[in-house]
């Protein structure tokens, strides 16, 4: 995954979150997959995505 692909995927995720087009669970799974892909090719995980992953995890825990 190159930086163009990463930027495009992040932009798509943010658009979906802002427009509430996808549910949070779907977005969470996509964020996890994106982070996994980045790690697999040795790219650093952006702090924003790591923070989003943690925030979504916490919100799911709070919901029970």
Task: Quick: pLDDT tens for 2-54.
Answer: 777 777 777 777 777 666 556 888 888 988 998 998 899 898 888 888 998 99
Q: Which residues lie closer than 8 Å to 16 by C-beta, 6 or more apart?
A: 22, 27
Single pTM value for the model: 0.70
The residue with tokens 């989003």 is 52
Question: What value, to the nearest 5°, has the Cα angle with vertex 30 and ends 29 and 32?
Answer: 65
By residue range, what is the domain housing residue 59? Answer: 3-63
Range list of β-strands (E), the chain:
none
CA atoms within 13 A on the CB side of 58: 6
For the chain, what is the domain count? 1
Note the pLDDT of residue 57.
92
Q: Which residues lie closer than 8 Å to 17 by C-beta, 6 or more apart?
A: 27
């Amino acid at each position: 995954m190159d930086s163009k692909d990463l930027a495009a995927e992040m932009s798509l995720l943010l658009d979906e979150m802002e427009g509430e087009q996808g549910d949070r669970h779907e977005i969470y799974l996509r964020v996890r997959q994106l982070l996994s892909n980045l790690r697999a090719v040795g790219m650093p995980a952006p702090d924003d995505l790591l923070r989003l992953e943690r925030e979504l995890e916490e919100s799911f825990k709070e919901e029970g």
